[in-house]
Amino acid sequence: MVQPLFRGVLPALITPFRDGQVDEDAFVRLVERQIAGGVHGLVPVGTTGETATLSHDEHRRVVELCIKTAAGRVPVVAGAGSNSTSEAIELVRHAKSVGADAALVVTPYYNRPSQEGLYAHYAAINEAVQLPVLVYNVPARTSVDISNDTLARLSKLPNIVGIKDATGDMARASGQRIACGEGWVMLSGNDDSALGYIAHGGHGCISVTANVAPEQVSAFYNDALSGQWAGALTGQDRLIRLHKALFLDASPSPTKFALAHLGLCQEDARLPIVRASEACRTEVVAAMRDAGVI
């Protein structure tokens, strides 16, 4: 069996802010905490990293800082998506130039390309940069859904190696695995349904919850991927309340609150994301207790 390039839990890292600027010291501490917690990779400047409100210079700096801090201990998959193909290519080029192991490229949002347009977008990136690329499919955010047929075509390109699937559609996962073949990386984009996704042949998750509970989430994936299903189910039950709580308000505000509660960073986000509501905070703290974080 061909082993996937990436597996296990890869946290979708938050980008901490202080006084309106990226808090680089806090970011380094968060990366070190993730690695110490046993995660299998790192994903800077994805949706959870508030890439939509980072400047291009900030985006590049966070990627560089993540790679420098990781220092080869775990792979780094750099967020590099855009609804402009040329801009996405530039971000993927930068990721490659600073030593990222792969790029995570979201389907183009707002302009809603056709399936042929989606194929052409990723094919252009494949041709322009020799770096592994994971397709990020999240229709709830982008208003476009890349089909398994299109992914099967893309899987034949040398640099398009897999997907972050945030559709929550388990049946699609099985169909995609068959269509795209061995070696196609399949990572869930949803913490709460990742157990089912792995059962359908997935290889892990790009996780929000790992920001808060890296040890617990890593243990869950180690159990699930080694076929220790009783342990995985226990881990799922311990974490499910936290998975839900971190999305009671617009992400990543609940996650930033949780990390601030642990004293790891400020809870500041950038508008239009605001701080978590009081009701959300109460539930996040309770869920952290259930998960064994506090």
DSSP per residue, 42-87: BB-SSTTTTGGGS-HHHHHHHHHHHHHHHTTSS-BEEE---SSHHH
How many distinct structural domains can be found in the chain? 1
Among residues 96, 122, 164, 221, which one is catalytic? 164
Average pLDDT over residues 212-225: 98
d(CA 186, CA 166): 11
Instruction: Identify whether 164 is a catalytic site residue.
Output: yes
pLDDT band at 81 (very low <50, low <70, confident <90, very high): very high
Contact 14, 8 (CB under 8 A): no
d(CA 128, CA 271): 34
Q: pTM score, two decimals? A: 0.96
pLDDT in tens, 118-172: 999 999 999 999 999 999 999 999 999 999 999 999 999 999 999 999 999 999 9
How is the chain split among helix, strand and coil, in percent rounded to 5? Answer: 50, 15, 40
Contact 79, 51 (CB under 8 A): yes
pLDDT band at 2 (very low <50, low <70, confident <90, very high): low
Within-domain flag for 141: yes
d(CA 281, CA 262): 13
Within-domain flag for 175: yes
CA Rg, the chain, in Å?
Answer: 18
pLDDT band at 4 (very low <50, low <70, confident <90, very high): confident
Question: In the Cβ-directed half-sphere of 192, how many Cα atoms lie within 13 Å?
Answer: 11
Among the listed residues 127, 166, 175, 136, the one whose alpha carbon sits nearest the alpha carbon of residue 247: 166
Contact 289, 281 (CB under 8 A): no
Within-domain flag for 236: no
Mean pLDDT of the chain: 97
Percent of the chain with pLDDT over 90: 98
pLDDT in tens, 106-119: 999 999 999 999 99
Instruction: Identify whether 136 is a catalytic site residue.
Output: yes
Within-domain flag for 239: no
Instruction: Assign residue 49 the CATH number of its domain.
Output: 3.20.20.70
DSSP per residue, 152-214: HHHTTSTTEEEEEE-S--HHHHHHHHHHH-TT-EEEES-STTHHHHHHTT--EEEESGGGT-H
Within-domain flag for 289: no
pLDDT number for residue 255 = 98
Position 167, amino acid: T
Within-domain flag for 216: yes
pLDDT number for residue 5 = 79
Within-domain flag for 284: no
Within-domain flag for 292: no
Contact 36, 2 (CB under 8 A): no
Domain of 171, in residue numbers: 8-226
* pLDDT at position 1 over 80: no
Among residues 96, 119, 122, 136, which one is catalytic? 136
